[in-house]
Chains A and B, each alone.
Chain A
């Protein structure tokens, strides 16, 4: 059973989400502010935290602040960012602070549930828009390609292919069929991209982070 903590400042949204989540997910708590979220995460240790990007309280840092203050628990607790805005720029800050993926609040209950399951099992969740942003930010469209696998600032050829297909609206399963690889391999590629997104010091990424005062 996957335990879930919902962090969102709107009680209507929290209860709506709670009602829609798959029965295999157990909601063990709700938080409405940064401080509340940090203390609940520390005491409850949920498997997955559904984290709103825009959150009141604390020092005004929103979802990213929750991640920073809970960074010691990042190995145990996984974060899935929820945003009402579907602009990837809004979310890159949260991803870089440690979230394993993001979905928009317009997603259906089933979508949220499967995303939570993916994040709980250690995978990353990429929306088409985030994939498009990643392709852009890593210069993949301009033809930049990583030569070595340990390179953080560029994507490998395979990672680019996977990102492109996700941007075109493919599910992981469809990406796997299209590229004749296993779903596990697709997930490995996506996780690698997520790692690069979090650790890379590419100019395009640091600019976003700086604008959101996340560095």
Chain B
């Protein structure tokens, strides 16, 4: 294996001093960062080549990609503040040059003030606004300070007996200062507009795809389930696919927080993957934001039992008021008789009844009411119903 093949890709890190060029290069070349920096510094003296090279790399090396793409870029060097300080220094120099009546020096310093003052604002709006390390207050301060400096330099140049070039530069300085005041508003408007437009386009595309899938694929999946019979392998796969697709399509409509109903639906989905069963979870009443673990555990066990021993259609009904939660799990299997169950069948006795009792609730397991009481194999198939009841106010301290 050659060394080139294990070389890390050339990319700029998101947490950088200035542009991340030096550290990116250092990682790629496997040189110490210090060496790279010294090399750049030396090249600066070769007619400014270091600066050009740095800017060139900055423009062409991409940001590193493996991290979260939306992560903001953070820079340690306070570029805006440094640029502002330079603008201030050149303003002083300009005032000095005016007093010394040196037109050439005034021209040069005024130009520098415009470059650095404008640069401060441009950097502040383009770079610092997205940088979490820079506060909004810092941005406002640097921008108003550079406005002040630009105005000062411009007016000073105009009221001192100016030549034509000085006057143009002075006016330019004032125009830039006024532009600075309006720029943040314009930039915000523009970015908001672009963000809103792209969000709308995405939303439209999504709605179109959703409508299309809803009309075609979901219908087909429903049909497959009907034709294959509720408990067949094909129907199960189709149902799982339908659920996944539905979750994806309507992801925005579902509240993100996991309440009891969502949790039970997820359990049902997981069980349906493993057993030939169709669990229909119906909920009514207030949402339960914090699910009591004992109740969820017992409900899962009841649903699993129904899936294992009965299969087919299983109804799960959750009713929650402010003080109580009731869960009914009803299957249409051969039925179960608690008295004849061997002691080693831990499922019902321990995982359902024991668990609920310890949590301060109750669990009743019996032949589903409404059917005939003879629940033996070959009976009417009335099935079993598990009823879990929990007073939430009472069980609160045990959860």
Binding site for B on A (CB under 8 A): 9-10, 12-13, 16-17, 20, 54, 84-85, 104-109, 128-129, 131-133, 135-136, 140-143, 164-165, 167-171, 173-178
The minimal Cβ–Cβ distance linking B78 to chain A, given in whole angstroms, is: 51
In the complex, what residue of chain A is closest to B246 when comparing beta carbons? A85
Interchain CB contact under 8 A, A170 and B222: no
For A164, list chain B residues within 8 Å (CB): 317, 319
In the complex, what residue of chain B is closest to A12 when comparing beta carbons? B223
29 contacts between A and B (CB under 8 A): A13-B219, A13-B222, A17-B226, A20-B226, A20-B227, A54-B214, A84-B218, A106-B226, A107-B226, A128-B315, A128-B317, A132-B284, A135-B319, A140-B284, A141-B284, A141-B286, A142-B285, A165-B370, A167-B282, A167-B284, A168-B317, A169-B317, A170-B330, A170-B368, A174-B368, A174-B369, A174-B370, A178-B369, A178-B370
Q: How many residues of B contact A (CB 8 A)?
A: 35
Chain A interface main SS type: helix
Among the interface residues B227, B284, B314, which one has the most CB atoms of the partner chain A within 10 A? B284
In the complex, what residue of chain B is closest to A165 when comparing beta carbons? B370
Interchain CB contact under 8 A, A84 and B222: yes
Residues A109 and B226 in contact in the complex (CB < 8 Å), given A131-B282, A141-B319, A141-B320: yes
Among the interface residues B226, B280, B369, which one has the most CB atoms of the partner chain A within 10 A? B226
CB neighbors of A among B192-250 (8 A) = 214-215, 218-220, 222-223, 225-227, 229-230, 239, 246
Residues A108 and B319 in contact in the complex (CB < 8 Å), given A141-B286, A142-B285, A177-B370: no
Interchain CB contact under 8 A, A141 and B214: no
CA–CA, A209 to B315, complex, Å? 28
For B305, list chain A residues within 8 Å (CB): none
Interchain CB contact under 8 A, B219 and A106: no
Interchain CB contact under 8 A, A104 and B385: no
Interchain CB contact under 8 A, A136 and B285: yes
For B223, list chain A residues within 8 Å (CB): 10, 12-13, 16, 105
For B219, list chain A residues within 8 Å (CB): 10, 12-13, 84, 105
- Is B62's CB within 8 Å of the partner chain A? no
For B214, list chain A residues within 8 Å (CB): 54, 84
A106-B225, A142-B285, A167-B317 given; 6 more Cβ-contact pairs under 8 Å: A12-B223, A105-B222, A106-B239, A129-B282, A135-B284, A168-B328
Residues A128 and B284 in contact in the complex (CB < 8 Å), given A104-B222, A141-B319, A178-B369: no
Interchain CB contact under 8 A, B321 and A141: yes
For B315, list chain A residues within 8 Å (CB): 128, 168-169
Interchain CB contact under 8 A, B226 and A108: yes
In the complex, what residue of chain A is closest to B228 when comparing beta carbons? A108
